[in-house]
Structure 1
Amino acid sequence: MMDRIVAELDFHKAALALREQRQAVLASNIANADTPHYKARDLDFAATLERVTADAGLAGPGRVTLQLTSARHIPGQAQRPVGVDDPLFRIPFQPSLDGNTVEMDVERVEFADNTLRSQTELQVLSQRLKTLLGAIQS
């Protein structure tokens, strides 16, 4: 039972850490909006979270992990997504003449979306902890 609780909390911890890292990348893009030849970057959050949770042996909420019960079973294979340390370059809709690919409207929307999702993740985690605390106290 305790392993399931720890795995659940570790998943939320990994998700929040990735949200924090993405926020830093987006903030860097906004800070360098006027820097010539600066290339806007972003993280592929879903693919990175999948890789981090798979490497840690965690399953997200509602996900099922496969376990081989026989040596004759065929293991599942998937392409390895981009790593946490490999932010992707963003392709601009309208590149500027100085080579800068930061588009402030896109960056603001992505920054606000990431902030909202971080707050939602914190609220979900808070509710899970309250539920666990209520179950323990009963």
Structure 2
Amino acid sequence: MTTDSVQQDMFTVLHGQPAPIVTRWSYVASDPFAITVAVRTRKDRWVEWLVARDLVIASLAGPVGEGDIRMRPCEVHGYDVVEIEIRSAEGRAVLEVDRDMLRHFVDASLELVAFGDESRHMDLDVEIDKIVGSCTE
């Protein structure tokens, strides 16, 4: 059986909070440049962000990002994590996710679509139709 997506739930620490929260990381081969990070805020309620896959991959090795999402590997209380800072007009959140678990997720996404092969997995005509369709509505 083959699949075109990867999904992994991870316990994530919201910086400064004692209890972890659940995040869901998703990757779909048909949207090869993006990773969806969903944060569970309440039972059955999720807040989602789209993050560039190359940003997530690079965050395993060093600090990356400008603007709304910044990521960097670091050690927190003896744990090897990737710190994810998300900013918006409403505020700022800092998440800490286990670096090995994130690496496992990234590796699974790379098995689906190799780094550099993303454009082969996109149907540009469909993407253009989405853009043009949303402009005429």
User: After TM superposition, is the score higher than 0.5?
Assistant: no
TM (norm. structure 1) is 0.29
Question: Could you state the TM-score of these two structures normalised by the residue count of structure 2?
Answer: 0.30
Q: Identify, as 1 or 2, the structure richer in helix.
A: 1
> Greater relative contact order: 1 or 2 (C-alpha under 8 angstroms, separation 6 or more)?
1
**Higher CA-based Rg:** 1
